[in-house]
Structure 1
Amino acid sequence: MVAATLVLAAPTLVAAPAAATATDPPAFVAAVPNPVADGDAGEFVVVDVPRVAANWTLSDGETTVALPDDPAERPGTRFAVGDDPNATRRLAEAPVVGVDRLSLSNAGERLVLRRDGVAVATLDYRDAPEGERLVLGDDGRRWRPVGFEPREVRRHGTAAVRGFLLPDSPGVPVGTLRGAEDRLLLAGYTFTSDRVADALVAAAERGVKVRVLVDADPVGGRSAQGAAVLDELADAGIDVSVLGGPHARFEYHHPKYAVVDDRALVLSENWKPAGVGGRSSRGWGVVVDARSVANDLAGLFRSDAGGRDAVPWRRYRRGQTFEPGTPANGSYPSRIDPAATTGSVRVLTAPGNAEAAVVGVIDGADDRVDVIQPSVGRRDGPLLRATVRAAERGVRVRVLLSGAWYVAEENAALVDWLNGVAERRDLPLSARLAEPRGRYEKVHAKGVVADDVVVVGSLNWNANAVSDNREVAVAVRSDELATYFREAFAADWGQGTGRTAWILAAGALAALIVAVVVARKTIRFEERR
C-alpha cells in the first residue's frame, strides 16, 4: 500500500475528517507535540484506524510503539495515542490509548503509521508551538490553540425577536438582565457598568445562577472602575472569570451577549456606560426569545469558560494595578423605539464561520445592502469585496462608517476610495462618515441589512476579528426586522457626509485610550471595539 503523506503547509482552518470505516484509509487527524506542561506531559497524536485486525504500529524514526491489534480493544476508529493517558485525557477530544513510550519532538518530527510493517500514513511537522494543536483534514491543516474547535453556523427555527438601538433604548438590555429567574450568563470584552452589575448582583441574590466571562487583557489595560465592578460581582458570590494569557485560545474575548433563562441577548456594545447606559455609542441589538438559541449560546459560554485559559477573577487580580478611567457621561435622546417581530435565526461565531456566513448574506442580496461599522480593515478583505461585488451586480449598497476622531482619517480615506470606485465604474455604491449631531457620540455598531436579513453582533470587519477573536453575531431573516434596522440606518445615513472630514465628538479627547502591545496582541483602540 502506498503511504499517504500529510506535510504542514500554509495555515488553513479546516475541520477534521470524519471517523474511519473499515474501508477508509488510515490517517493522522491531529497532534499536540508541545503541551503547556513540565516535560510535555500529555503530548499525543490522534489517528483514524479502520476496524480491521492487523499489527498496527506508530513510529517517530527512533521509537516504535504498538497499537491494539484487535478492533475490539480499540475505543472506536479514532483515538489519541499518548504515554501519559491521564494528562492526555485533559487535552484530547478523543478516547485515549496509552502506550509505553511516545516522545514527540517540539522542533519537528516524522511520524509513520504502519500496518503489518507497511507504512500507510505519514505526518511531518516542524516547530510545534507551545500549547497548540495541529489539525489535519482534506482541505488543509493548521496549528490552533488546544481546546478550540471551530463551530458550524447554528440554524434555529422561527423565534420572537426584539430589535433595539443604543443609546435610544438602554432599558432593553438592562431590563432583560433584570428579568432573569434561573440562569444568567454574561460574556463580554470589557465590563464597567454599575447598572449591569446591579442587575447581576440582584439576580444572584434571588438565587439565579450567574456567571460572567470577560477578556483578561483589554487594550490599554483594565480601568480601576472595571476592576471595582468585577470585585463587586465576585464579592456577591458570582462566578467571574477572565479569558486570556500567553496560551489563550483567542487573541481577544470580544463577544457581547447574555443568556437569560430561555432568551438570548446579542448586541454590538460593551458592558459599560457608553454601551448600555444610554450614553455615547450607536449600537444595534436583539433579544431572541427561543430556548434553542439560548441553549446554543449557553453551550458556547460553557466551552469558552471551561478552558485552561479561563482564570477566576480573584486569582487573576492578585498583585495587579489598574488604570484610572473616566466613563462616558453624556445624555442622548431616545428617538427610535424597539421593534418586536419574528424571524428565523442563525448563530454565527468567530473564529470559524462568521466571516463566510456574512459574505454569504451579502452575496445573497438582490436589492439592497446597508453596512454600518466603526471601521473596516483591508480594502481587499472578503467582507468589503462582497460589498463591492453586490454593487457590481446592481444591488444598491451603502456603507456608513464612524467619524469618531480616532478613526476619522482612515475611514475618510476609505469613504473617498469607495465613492471613487463607484463613480469610475458607475456602481450603485456610496459611502459616508456618520455625523451624530448630538444623537450619539460615535458609531460602534457592527451590522448589515441585506434585503430581509439582519446581522447584529460583535464582528468587526477586519482580519483580526474574523480569524483570531472570539466573536458572536446572529443573522435574522425577517422583513419587519430588516425594515426596522434599515430605517434606523437611514436616519443615521441622512446625517452623514461623503466628503473627507474629521468629526470631533464632545468630550472624545478625554476618552483616549493608549494602546499597549502585550505578548502577541496588536495595537488598536478600545473604543473601536
Structure 2
Amino acid sequence: MTKLAVVCLLVAGAVGPAVGAAVDPADPSSATDALRPTEPRIAAVYPNPVADGDRGEFVVLDVPNGTDLGDYRLSDGDGELVLPNRTVGDRVAVTTVPAPVRNLTRIAVVAANGSVALANGGERLRLRRGNSTVARARYREAPEGEIGRFDDRGAVAWRPLGRTNRSVVTATGGEVRAFTLPDAPGVPLDVIRGADSRILLAGYTFTSERIAQELERAARRGVDVRVLLDAEPVDGITRRQARLLDSLVDAGATVRLLGGPHGRYAFHHPKYAVADDRAVVLTENWKPAGTGGHASRGWGAVVSQPRIVDGLAKTFRADAEWRGARPWSQVRRGRSFERASVANGSFPSHRSPETVPVNRTRLLVAPDNAGRAVTAALDGADESIDVIQMSVDGRDQRFLRATVRAARRGVDVRLLLSGAWYVEEENRRLVEHLRGVAEREDLPLTAKLAEPGGDFEKIHAKGAVIDGDQVLVGSLNWNGESIRSNREVVLSLEGEAVGGYYEAAFEADWNGEESGPSLPVGIAAGIGGCALLAVLVARRIEFGESAGVGG
C-alpha cells in the first residue's frame, strides 16, 4: 500500500460522463443536467502512478454544482481523507500533494488533509457524509500509469491516464480528392507543398526524403511545421529516420515522439497531415514504400471541410501536447538506430486522382470511437461490403464477425487479402476457413489473396466500400490492439461519386490474377465495401522497410 494523494480532478479525456453520453471531455459543460448526480460519486481512481513511490495517486469525484466538499470524507476502512471546506461543482481536484497533481490537470487543485491508502492490488473506497455512505467503489489489480473509470454499475475500465475521449466529427457536403497509391504519390506531397501557415504531420514512422525536404522548405519560409511520430515502433527507429528528423529540427520544425511510460497509446499509428485549411488522410506511412509510391497499394483522401480539418488539428494537438510526447532531441539521446533498406520499386500509374463530391464526411479516431463506428457501418450494410486489407487478426476479429453477420443477412461480401510472404500463410488459412463457412451456410461471401500483377508490390491499404456509397479509409488495422489501444484515424466518406471511385479501385485489384484459393459463393453485383484493415498481427509484429512493409 502507498499513501494516497487523493485527487478529484477533471482529466480531459481520462474520465468521461455516464456510459453512452455524448460529451466532449475537454468541455465539461457539454454534459446534460440529467446526467449529473445529486450526490458526489466516485468516478475514477489512479492508484498506480508511474512516478517513484506512487507519488501522485488520486481519486476522481463527480460533484454536483453547489456542493460543499467539507461535508464529505473519503475512507478505505483504515484511513480517512478530510476534504476542504469549498463549494464546487462538476469535477474538481483535491489532493494532499498538489504539486505533482497540477501536472496532470488544467484546473485548480485544492489541498486536503489526512491520508487514505490505495493498494495497487485492489481497494474498497467509501465516500461518507456524516454517518451515511453516499458512494462506493472497488477495484482490483491497477495497471501502472492507468486510470480506472467506474461506470454506473461500479465496473471499472482501465486506460492510460490522459487518453482522449473524442466524439465523431461530422461534416455535410463538399468535395474530397480521392487517390490511390502507388498511382498518385504526388498528392500528399502537393498538400504539404501548398502550405502557407501551418503543417501538422502525424505518423507512425517517417523515412521519406522528399516529404522531409518539403517540410524543411516550409519551416524555412516561416510555416509552423510540427511532426508527431511513434517513439517506439516495433522494428525500431531507423538511421534514415533519425537523420531526417535531425535535419527537420535544424530547419526549425518541431518534432515530438509519443511513447514511453507516459505514452498514452500502445502505438501512435495514424497517417495524416493538416496543411492550412486542407488535410490528407492515408492508409500508408510517410516512407518510400508508402507515400513514395515504391511498393504498397494504399488509399488516401484530401479533405477541406472545416469541421473535419479542425477535428484533425485538435486530435494532433491533444496528442502532441500530452506530456508523453517528448522532443526528438530527448528521445534520440543515448539511443542506437536500426539499419534498413529503402523500397525503390517502380509501378505504372493506372488510376488518376479525382475530385469528387461527398454527401457526408465523418472523422473517426481510435481508441475513442472508431471501433464502434466501423462495426455499426458494417452492421448497417444492405447490399454489399468490399474489403481490402493486409490481414485479419483471427477469425473472431470484431470487424470480420460483422462482415460474416452481413453475409448471413444476404449482403454480398468480398474480402481481398495480401499475398505477401509475411502474411500469406495466415491469410490462406483464413480464406479456407471462410470458404467452409460460405459453403456450409450457402452465404454470398467470397475471399481471396491478391495478385499484384506488376501494379504494386503488396497490399497495405486499410479500406472498404459499403453499399457502393460509403468508404472507410485510414490507419485502423483489423485487430484488437488497433481498436482498443492505438491512436488511429479513419475517414468515413459517403456519396455515390466517392464510393464509385474507390469501388473501381477495389474492382481492379480484385480482378487481378488470383494467387490463392477463393470462396466460389455468389458475389453478384460487386458494389460494396467493408471496412478497415491491415494488421499489426497478434504477435504485435510489424515489418519495417527492410521487408518493404509498414504499419
**TM-score, with length taken from structure 2:** 0.86
2:479 aligns with 462
The reply on whether 1:450 has 2:451 as its aligned counterpart is no
Q: 1:133-167: per-residue Cα shift (whole Å, max 9, x none)?
A: 11112264212111112222222222321110000
Identity level (%) = 51
2:94 aligns with 81
Q: Which amino acid aligns with 1:128?
A: A
Asked whether the equivalents of residues 20 and 26 of structure 1 are also in contact (C-alpha less than 8 Å), the reply is: no
* Segment of structure 1 superposing worse, 39-48 or 291-300: 39-48
Once the 2 structures are TM-superposed, how far is the Cα of residue 290 of structure 1 from its aligned partner? Answer: 1.8
Select which of 110, 127, 136 maps to 2:141: 127
Cα 1:473–1:433, aligned 2, differ >3 Å: closer, same or farther? same
1:323 aligns with 338
For residues 342-491 of structure 1, the aligned pairs below 5 Å read 342-343=357-358, 344-451=360-467, 452-491=469-508
Whole-angstrom CA distance in 2 between matches of 1:320 and 1:485: 42
Q: Which amino acid aligns with 2:265?
A: F
Select which of 350, 353, 364 maps to 1:338: 353
Asked whether the equivalents of residues 453 and 477 of structure 1 are also in contact (C-alpha less than 8 Å), the reply is: yes
Q: 1:333-361: per-residue Cα shift (whole Å, max 9, x none)?
A: 00001111122111111112112111111
Asked whether the equivalents of residues 83 and 98 of structure 1 are also in contact (C-alpha less than 8 Å), the reply is: yes
Select which of 172, 188, 194 maps to 1:157: 172
Q: 1:251-289: per-residue Cα shift (whole Å, max 9, x none)?
A: 111100011111111000000001111210000000001
Asked whether the equivalents of residues 170 and 307 of structure 2 are also in contact (C-alpha less than 8 Å), the reply is: no
2:540 aligns with 522
Whole-angstrom CA distance in 2 between matches of 1:416 and 1:310: 43
2:302 aligns with 287
1:253 aligns with 268
Once the 2 structures are TM-superposed, how far is the Cα of residue 325 of structure 1 from its aligned partner? Answer: 1.1
1:145 aligns with 160
Whole-angstrom CA distance in 2 between matches of 1:37 and 1:238: 31
Q: 1:318-339: per-residue Cα shift (whole Å, max 9, x none)?
A: 1111121110001100000111
Q: Which amino acid aligns with 2:371?
A: E
**TM-score, with length taken from structure 1:** 0.89
Q: 1:441-482: per-residue Cα shift (whole Å, max 9, x none)?
A: 000000010021100000110111111111100101111010
2:26 aligns with none
Whole-angstrom CA distance in 2 between matches of 1:280 and 1:30: 46
The reply on whether 1:305 has 2:323 as its aligned counterpart is no
Asked whether the equivalents of residues 451 and 515 of structure 2 are also in contact (C-alpha less than 8 Å), the reply is: no
Whole-angstrom CA distance in 1 between matches of 2:90 and 2:308: 33
Whole-angstrom CA distance in 2 between matches of 1:147 and 1:124: 21
Once the 2 structures are TM-superposed, how far is the Cα of residue 363 of structure 1 from its aligned partner? Answer: 1.4
Q: Which amino acid aligns with 1:440?
A: F
Whole-angstrom CA distance in 1 between matches of 2:49 and 2:67: 31
Select which of 251, 260, 263 maps to 1:236: 251
Asked whether the equivalents of residues 449 and 485 of structure 1 are also in contact (C-alpha less than 8 Å), the reply is: yes
Whole-angstrom CA distance in 2 between matches of 1:119 and 1:179: 61
Cα 1:422–1:235, aligned 2, differ >3 Å: closer, same or farther? same
Asked whether the equivalents of residues 279 and 331 of structure 1 are also in contact (C-alpha less than 8 Å), the reply is: yes
Whole-angstrom CA distance in 2 between matches of 1:131 and 1:123: 19
2:277 aligns with 262
* Aligned positions, number: 498
For residues 486-505 of structure 1, the aligned pairs below 5 Å read 486-497=503-514, 499-500=516-517
- Name the SS of the counterpart of 1:152 in structure 2: coil
Q: Which amino acid aligns with 2:149?
A: V
Asked whether the equivalents of residues 348 and 354 of structure 1 are also in contact (C-alpha less than 8 Å), the reply is: yes
The reply on whether 1:49 has 2:67 as its aligned counterpart is no
- Name the SS of the counterpart of 1:491 in structure 2: helix
Whole-angstrom CA distance in 2 between matches of 1:360 and 1:115: 43
* Segment of structure 1 superposing worse, 472-481 or 318-327: 318-327
Asked whether the equivalents of residues 412 and 445 of structure 2 are also in contact (C-alpha less than 8 Å), the reply is: yes
Select which of 200, 206, 217 maps to 1:202: 217
Which structure 2 residue ranges, 5 or more long, are not aligned? 1-13, 19-30, 519-535
Whole-angstrom CA distance in 1 between matches of 2:550 and 2:208: 18
Asked whether the equivalents of residues 32 and 44 of structure 1 are also in contact (C-alpha less than 8 Å), the reply is: yes
Whole-angstrom CA distance in 1 between matches of 2:272 and 2:37: 45
Select which of 75, 79, 84 maps to 1:59: 75
Asked whether the equivalents of residues 373 and 445 of structure 1 are also in contact (C-alpha less than 8 Å), the reply is: yes
- Name the SS of the counterpart of 2:236 in structure 1: coil
